[in-house]
Amino acid sequence: MGLVLRDESPALMRDFLREVGECAVIDGGLATELEANGADLNDPLWSAKCLISSPHLIRKVHLDYLKAGANVIITSSYQATIQGFMSRGFTSEESEALLRKSVEIACEARELFYEELNESDKNIEKRKPSILVAASVGSYGAYLADGSEYSGIYCKEMTLEKLKEFHRRRVEVLAESGADLIAFETIPNKLEAQAYAELLEEGNINTPAWFSFNSKDGVNVVSGDSMVECASIADACKKVIAVGINCTPPRFIEGLILSIKKVTEKPILIYPNSGERYDADKKEWVVCTGVTDEDFVSYVRAWHEAGARLIGGCCRTTPRTIGGISKALRTE
């Protein structure tokens, strides 16, 4: 299933949600799951390194999440930028090809999943599950690879136009890649949200998008900007078809859903991290600071009742987490 942008674009997501049972399951952590499968991501490109060195691992992780019950898989392009690849010696054309490759791998995983379903059930074509591929766009801070997507402090040095120029070609390439939608993820400040919105509105982009912000206090985005103001920017952009939260501790999610509901009627998506704290200086997760899979999944009913219509996981969540979410939603 693909989404084709039109004036009533928010209805597109609602149509998809109706097909999957009113609440969709988003996949879980990609980078941490790649590491669990043997990938070495100690690199400024982070998970995007695997586009060069081990695309088969990306495909496997996507497939694992689909088997766990995900309806949406997010590509490995979060930290993939043309500027980042070119700094490693790739040409601009090769860099753009790597961006497209992230979408191709996700689409291949979706087709493999359908093939496996067809082998196990010859009637599956009549009720093939709807699965969307979301092309990930990380913030400028993700490109810096210094943890600043968890603070958004770089907006003090950046202007709106500089951010738009940084992201423009990347967004254009991903919009033309065959992905069903663009996932602007872990947005840490209002300025970058505005840059994304203007790029979508000004450019000839016919692929819908979602905006997903991160918070460390349950009230504001990580830069200190108002979550309500950030969500309002997403709500005002016609090409944004869902608004929400990712890479945020589970304990903050319900309150953030209620805040976002005050300023938008668009479907709300949430995919929290495990609750573990990331040490940006050491570039590692602090052990014993998160919640168990069981505790994470125990929040799902409350999140759904609060208004979340797409639910998944971010860093340090696994296919087991996503399987638990899927089961919890299907047994409500």
pLDDT of residue 279: 56
Q: Is 247 annotated as a binding residue?
A: yes
Confidence of residue 225 (pLDDT cuts 50, 70, 90): very high
Strands laid side by side in the 72-74 sheet: 24-25, 308-311, 268-271, 240-246, 209-213, 181-187, 132-137, 72-74
Of 1-10, 172-181, 185-194, give the lowest mean pLDDT range.
1-10
pLDDT tens per residue across span 178-208: 999 999 999 999 999 999 999 999 988 999 9
What SS3 class is residue 97?
helix
Q: Is 50 annotated as a binding residue?
A: no
Confidence of residue 7 (pLDDT cuts 50, 70, 90): very low
Confidence of residue 1 (pLDDT cuts 50, 70, 90): very low
pLDDT tens per residue across span 277-298: 655 555 554 554 457 778 899 9
Q: Which of 5, 13, 3 is nearest to 205 (CA)?
A: 5
Contact present, 190 and 233 (Cβ < 8 Å): yes
What SS3 class is residue 311?
strand
Q: Is 237 annotated as a binding residue?
A: no
For residue 329, give both structure tokens: 């939603």
pLDDT of residue 118: 85
Confidence of residue 6 (pLDDT cuts 50, 70, 90): very low
In sequence order, which ranges of the chain are alpha helices (DSSP H)? Answer: 9-19, 31-36, 49-53, 55-68, 82-86, 92-120, 140-144, 160-175, 190-202, 227-236, 253-261, 293-298, 300-306, 319-330
pLDDT of residue 127: 66
- Please give the Cα distance from 151 to 262 (Å, whole number): 25
pLDDT tens per residue across span 18-46: 999 999 999 999 999 999 999 999 888 88
φ, ψ (nearest 5 deg) of residue 288? 60, 30
**What is the H or E stretch that residue 187 is in?**
strand 181-187
pLDDT of residue 147: 86
Q: Is the pTM of this model over 0.85?
A: yes
Confidence of residue 12 (pLDDT cuts 50, 70, 90): confident
Q: Which of 165, 171, 210, 207 is nearest to 72 (CA)?
A: 210
